[in-house]
Amino acid sequence: MDKSSSLVTRLTLLLGVTLTVIWLILIATTAFFSYENTRQILINELTHMASMRADLSNHQFEGAERDAASLISRRESLQNTSPLPEISIKHYDSHYIPFNLDSCNVNQHKNDLWIIQAYGTAGQTYYLDSFIIKQKEGIVLFPPQKSSSDYLNQRRKDLLLLPKFPTHNNIYWGAPTYTSQGGWHVSVAVCDKVGTLAGFALKLNDLIAYNHPVEQRDINLLLDKNGELLPISQQATSSNQLHEILNQLKNSKLHDGWQQTPDYLVLRTQLKGPGWQQLVIYPRMGFAWEALKPALYQLPFALAILLLLTSVLSLLLRYYLAIPLWNFINIIGATGPQAMEPRLPINRIDELGHIARAYNNLLDTLNEQYDTLEMKVKERTLALAEAKRAAEQANRRKSDHLTTISHEIRTPLNGALGRLNYYKIHHWMLAK
């Protein structure tokens, strides 16, 4: 039998295609919900980590502002109310750095040297050094131990770059700078009524450590309040990608929370203190890949299930439908006028069993009718032969009867005709 026109083959193909379509719909649905679920989880994770980073950074910034305010307050209080101890200048670890190197009188600033050493801090967990900036005079600096002259010169330059106007609430924040001795740090100071600044150099090492990527693809940047990239930002990103990100950020109006640029998802958090902006940037393509990863991991397993279901369905159709149908076809094909004995198996209780019983009943009926027809044909043949014989016998009898009648009629008729001819001839002769 031609398998291409087989009902079972077409049915198997149809069911296989149907299963494939259903499988694709399920996979698409699963992928969609997996994408949405993973996307939400990823967003929540990034948001949570960004919030923790912002809280830790704000805690350090606010603590530095409080400590700077406390330092300037203590200085005012001690200078106005308490006599300061007399200690030789050479016993101080703090330094005085004048703005004008030609007029350097350290003794005039020994009170500030004592205050900054007594109430300031240097080389501790959060602060690199402490300082007091006296307008038009100089800087009193309490540096970490074993500080070099290069460090003092660099700190002098950094502190001279403090803004002329407070960042907020009489608090001055400088730009982040780097030293080989202390790493990244930023200066924070509070101003008193006469314009003297006191504050600390806040270490930013922890802030940099907080900004390590959460996932493999996220990019963490810090911008100043004007939207310019801070040098302490993550530099593992390639310069081309960083340039592209900054260009897209400049064309977008950033606000707190999630937003998107043409190629990136951006989470912005406004930090306190210096007013920096913390950004978590995630590539949109990478975001889609991370969200679809669980569905892609499940794809081989789902494909294996589809192949298994298709194979099992094909085998079941072959065993329960194809083979019985092929047996039916072979038995029906072998049935004919000379072979009416083959019967379909009736050991099934399904539709095929009903078909087999109906077919067998039909064959039995045909056999009975065939036998009856043969008997009738024989009877009709015998009757026809008998009728033929009777007709032939009647025909012979008719012929004999006609012959007899003809003889009985012709004999007297011939005598009468002879007598008439005789009288005619005799009369003619008499007349002559």
The predicted structure's pLDDT at residue 101: 66
The predicted structure's pLDDT at residue 27: 82
d(CA 171, CA 174): 10
Q: What percent of the chain has pLDDT over 90?
A: 15
Asked whether the predicted pLDDT for residue 342 surpasses 80, the reply is no
Q: Give the pLDDT band of residue 104 (cuts 50, 70, 90).
A: low
Give the mean model confidence (pLDDT) for residues 88-115. 73
Give the mean model confidence (pLDDT) for residues 354-377. 82
**Mean pLDDT taken over the chain:** 83
Asked whether the predicted pLDDT for residue 225 surpasses 90, the reply is no
CB 199 within 8 A of CB 172: yes
Q: Give the pLDDT band of residue 189 (cuts 50, 70, 90).
A: very high
pTM of the complete model: 0.65
Q: Which 3-state string (H, E, C) describes the chain? A: CCHHHCHHHHHHHHHHHHHHHHHHHHHHHHHHHHHHHHHHHHHHHHHHHHHHHHHHHHHHHHHHHHHHHHHHHHHHHHHHHCCCCCCCHHHCCCEEEECCCCCCCHHHHHHHHHHHHHHCCCCCCCEEEEEEEECCCEEEEECCCCCCHHHHHHHHHHHHCCCCCCCECCEEECCCEEECCCEEEEEEEEECCCCCEEEEEEECHHHHHHCCCCCCCCEEEEECCCCCECCCCCCCCCHHHHHHHHHHHHCCCCCCEEEECCCEEEEEEECCCCCCEEEEEEEHHHHHHHHHHHHHHHHHHHHHHHHHHHHHHHHHHHHHHHHHHHHHHHHHHHCECCECCCCCCCCCCCHHHHHHHHHHHHHHHHHHHHHHHHHHHHHHHHHHHHHHHHHHHHHHHHHHHHHHHHHHHHHHHHHHHHHHHHHHHHHHHHHC
Give the mean model confidence (pLDDT) for residues 306-320. 84
